[in-house]
């Protein structure tokens, strides 16, 4: 799979896209990029001040007025996700895509130093929450003429290695979730599900896991945005159940 061509400036016009983890990192970059391509973006994150800053930036750049949903994925129960979906429906009337970019991470440590509490948080935020939010929003997504759900994978979930522990396990399971959900939606031609693996990129998370790297030698977050726009937009309408390592493609 080759790197997507430059998307049309208005390729996401009139679409409503929910972005989790929109307060920082790749989620923030994607939210801003989606807005520049015409989408109305629903910003979801724990830090309301960060969401407000992105909200203001989108408006200042001439984008459609976004919506803000301060929400703690790690603390929510099933009812909370259902209420969130209802709030999205009430305020925005439709939903054409979800980018699951929120992630929990602690540190690179051997398994014997990782705790059950840490694993519970990793599984909740990185795996259970994307499942629960997608499930709650499926009725809205089914009403869209072309809906895209993107899970954010991880290189060390795709090919697990020592010290990545619960984080790698939770991200690896997202790939199984992608396959299962995609197959179950096979007859729902207007809803597609894929996993996007950013790979090595100069992001806040990468600086935690690889503090000794020279960030300027890595791909920058904006370099990956053609993948994010392509997989969310109409040009990838026939791409389903795929695990895509975008930073490894030329």
Instruction: Pick out the chain residues at pLDDT < 50.
Output: 249-250
Supply the pLDDT for residue 250. 36
Supply the pLDDT for residue 25. 86
Q: Residue for token digits 């929003």? A: 137
Distances (CA, A) of 172 to 146, 155, 225: 27, 9, 23
For the stretch 10-55, pLDDT in tens is 899 999 999 999 998 889 999 999 999 999 999 999 999 999 999 9
The token duo for 192 is 């597609």
CA angle, residues 109, 73, 211, in degrees to nearest 5 = 35
- Per CATH, the architecture of 16-248 is what? 3-Layer(aba) Sandwich (3.40)
- Whether residue 150 contacts residue 167, with contact meaning beta carbons closer than 8 Å, is answered with no
Q: Which sequence spans correspond to the domains of the chain?
A: 16-248
Supply the pLDDT for residue 213. 62
167 flagged as catalytic: yes
218: left (phi over 0), alpha (psi -120 to 50) or beta: beta
Q: Which residue of the set 90, 112, 163, 167 is catalytic?
A: 167
Question: pTM for the full model?
Answer: 0.92
């Amino acid at each position: 799979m080759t790197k997507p061509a430059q998307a049309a400036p208005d390729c996401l016009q009139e679409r409503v896209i929910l972005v989790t983890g929109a307060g920082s990192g790749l989620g923030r970059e994607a939210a801003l990029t989606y807005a520049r391509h015409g989408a109305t973006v629903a910003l979801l994150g724990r830090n309301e001040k960060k969401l407000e800053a992105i909200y203001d930036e989108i408006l200042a750049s001439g984008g459609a007025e976004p919506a803000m949903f301060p929400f703690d994925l790690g603390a929510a129960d099933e009812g909370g996700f259902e209420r969130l979906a209802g709030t999205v429906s009430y305020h925005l009337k439709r939903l054409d895509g979800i980018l699951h970019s929120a992630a929990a991470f602690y540190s690179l440590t051997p398994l014997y130093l990782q705790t059950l509490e840490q694993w519970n948080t990793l599984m909740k935020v990185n795996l259970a929450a994307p499942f629960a939010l997608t499930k709650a929003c499926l009725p809205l997504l089914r009403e869209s003429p072309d809906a895209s759900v993107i899970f954010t994978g991880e290189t060390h979930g795709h090919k697990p290695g020592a010290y990545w522990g619960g984080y790698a396990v939770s991200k690896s399971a997202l790939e199984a979730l992608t396959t299962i959900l995609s197959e179950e939606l096979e007859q729902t031609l207007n809803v597609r599900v894929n996993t996007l693996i950013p790979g090595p990129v100069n992001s806040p998370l990468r600086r935690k896991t690889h503090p000794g790297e020279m960030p300027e030698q890595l791909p920058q977050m904006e370099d990956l945005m053609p993948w994010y726009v392509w997989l969310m937009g109409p040009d990838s309408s026939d791409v389903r159940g795929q695990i895509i390592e975008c930073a490894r493609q030329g």
